[in-house]
Amino acid sequence: MSISTADVIVTSPGRNFVTLKIVTSDGIVGWGDATLNGRELSVASYLRDHLASTLVGRDEDRIEDTWQYLYRGAYWRRGPVTMAAIAAVDMALWDIKAKKAGVPLYQLLGGASRDKLRVYAHASGNDYETLARAIRGYVDEGYTAVRIQTGVPGLNRVYGVSDTAKPGERYDYEPAHRAADGSAATRPEEEDWDTPAYLRHVPSIFEKVREEFGPELRLLHDAHHRMSPIEAARLAKSLEPYDLFWLEDVTPGEDQEAFRLVRQHSTTPLATGEVFNSVHDYRTLITERLIDYVRSAPTHTGGVTGMKKLLDFAGIYGIRSGIHGPTDVSPIGMAAALHIDLAIHNFGIQEYMPHNELTLETFRTSYTFDRGFLHPGDNPGLGVELDEELAARHPYTAAYLPVNRLLDGTVHDW
């Protein structure tokens, strides 16, 4: 038996997704997610124009060998486009192997290490009243962990904060913007940013949240890489009284040594890595224990194989998982994350942003949510199947993540 075909499907049921379909010579289908938000066609081309022909005829069971063949054989290594393409191949091959075995993927990763997976929700608001209504809604649904994002006085729009949802209303957050009429975007939108105003405002919001919702609710916050190391240290220190579950992406992660300064000044737990795409991006962060949670997603980190290598390495140093789970990872990528979560020893928490109804009609899933917890389900393989007929009805539409600028016009991290 061998790989017969490898086809790339780009669809946009509300947002853009890149899916790889691998079919074996005996007709077994495997699905992989290669979505790279705002750069989807780059990965689709990499798969279609460079990898697909090299897969045909290969033994679908040789997953590790195929991973190394794609990673080492091209000479050009790592990077988000390459690793997302490898991820799609890897997921599809694991999907096939588990389907052939007739078991859910987590059984091939060592079996379940727990019965269910704690997830965190996203609550946001331009003012405290709107934010509090959103938090109450999630608490009522059984969530025990909530990410808190707030508007900043004087700024019209802040990345990660909904400016369209009504108070308390669930919103389908998509940070990659299209044109106002829903047509293809021609360039990114631009948002402004004021670090001093943010540093003054955020601690007051967490003080109110703790006062209203008590000490038991796990609170998280994402700083979106916007602080310099000393600003990050100040923020982490100022949030210590409010006992955060984690503070995420507090400073640009590619400067791994910068986290030493934050650690020197604060005991607030730190998470980072959603923009990383290999274990090498974490080497200093992990070996010096400068973070507490690894934030990569299988879709952007070489699939199940790449993510498992990373989390095994992190586990040696007592660092836990906090896998990236936004709506710009398709349900296939989300399912891969959940199977890994269930199997690994060092699970921490899983990000969960539910996909919209149109996406879930296009990607049929077996994972389930119940009172703040997820389970990947027990269907063979990943437990997700793409409806190709529905996918064909939703063509790709260009969308871009915003560009962030300081008030003086300087392009800034976001």
| Whether residue 41 sits in one domain with residue 153 | no
- Look at residues 85, 61, 57 and name the one whose alpha carbon lies nearest to residue 71: 85
Query: Which residues are known to be catalytic?
Result: 159, 224
pLDDT at 156: 82
DSSP 381: B
pLDDT at 160: 77
- pLDDT, mean over the chain: 94
Both tokens assigned to 91: 């997921």
CATH number of the CATH domain containing 141? 3.20.20.120
pLDDT at 81: 98
d(CA 24, CA 1): 7
| Whether residue 200 sits in one domain with residue 322 | yes
229 φ, ψ (degrees, to nearest 5): -55, -40
List the strands of the sheet with 411-412, edge to edge: 190-193, 403-406, 411-412
| Whether residue 351 sits in one domain with residue 219 | yes
pLDDT at 319: 98
pLDDT at 167: 46
| Whether residue 225 sits in one domain with residue 97 | no
Which residue's entry shows tokens 């690894």?
Answer: 294
| Whether residue 155 sits in one domain with residue 94 | no
d(CA 389, CA 191): 37
pLDDT at 414: 61
pLDDT at 177: 84
In the chain the first and final C-alpha atoms are separated, in Å, by 47
Would 73 be classed as within a structural domain?
yes
Structural domain containing residue 26: 2-104
| Whether residue 339 sits in one domain with residue 238 | yes
| Residue ranges of the chain with per-residue pLDDT less than 70 | 163-174, 414
| Whether residue 77 sits in one domain with residue 221 | no
